[in-house]
Amino acid sequence: MCDLEISSTLEGRSKETLRNLRMVFQNPNDTLNPYQTVRQALERPLRLLSEPKLTDGEIHERIAELLQAVRLTPDYAGRYPGELSGGEKQRIAIARAFAANPALIVADEPTSSLDVSVQAVILNLLKDLRAEKGASYLLISHDLDVIAYLADWIAVMYLGQIVEEGANADVYHAPWHPYTEALLSAIPIPDPTHQQGAIRLDGDIPSARNIPCGCRFHTRCPRKIGDICEQEEPPWRDAGNGHAIRCHIAVADLIALQSPSATPPQEA
């Protein structure tokens, strides 16, 4: 592996970088030009980024393939965004992202603005396309169910800092960082007989412009152990299998605190 520095400006990025790094934005209503047809939206990255250059006939065939890949019929190529539903717009945005066969797609809350039934369709589509095309995703989301469905490796962030990371299965099982623990406790469980205690985070919500000293989560942490949390940057704790937690509490103590027999959390 090697690090690749990416310019913060579009003009400073090479054609290869633009081809290999594409994005699916949060709101499909804002990602498509309302004055351009679906064909025009898909044609632009094909003409600008394809290597080698494609002929008009090849572009026409590629657009049909992209529409088929996102489960839309060829006649959608002549439609404008105003003629599409939110789910259809997001499918077009996904097709555009895959147009130049990228290596990595950044997906920023790709389902948050969609109805629940449509979210399922988009998630299944993203999963199928990843398997078919071989691209990787960098998925940004507040929806832990979405993350659990799509992600292989998870990084949990608080105030711009990674506080926990690991494989999907490891992050969803104790031990957790206290912030991850609170997030997971808020996930609804479709079982009316299950007694679930959500952790309520009290305390002040700090400003990202004025980040607290020590542990960034200490102003709201239900597991705070004292002044050390306020004064010292927490170390990384090795929870095994690459699973790491940034916390002053030792892994063994976190496991004990977060076990089912421990004191139950406050009800939300």
Domain boundaries, the chain: 19-150, 156-189+196-257
DSSP 8-state assignment for residue 258: T
Cα–Cα distance for residue pair 147/156, rounded to 1 Å = 11
How far is Cα of residue 25 from the mean position of the Cα atoms in its chain? 11
Cα–Cα distance for residue pair 82/67, rounded to 1 Å = 17
Tell me if 246 sits within 8 A of 161, measured CB to CB. yes
Cα–Cα distance for residue pair 111/173, rounded to 1 Å = 25
Tell me if 111 sits within 8 A of 143, measured CB to CB. yes
Structure pTM?
A: 0.85
CATH class of 19-150: alpha beta
Task: Quote the radius of gyration of the chain (alpha carbons, Å).
Answer: 22
pLDDT tens for the 268 residues of the chain, in order: 567 788 888 888 888 988 999 999 998 888 899 999 999 999 999 999 988 899 999 999 999 999 999 999 999 999 999 999 999 999 999 999 999 999 999 999 999 888 888 999 999 999 999 999 999 999 999 888 889 999 999 999 999 999 999 999 999 988 999 999 999 888 777 666 666 667 888 887 888 899 999 999 999 999 999 999 999 999 999 999 999 999 999 999 999 988 765 544 443 3
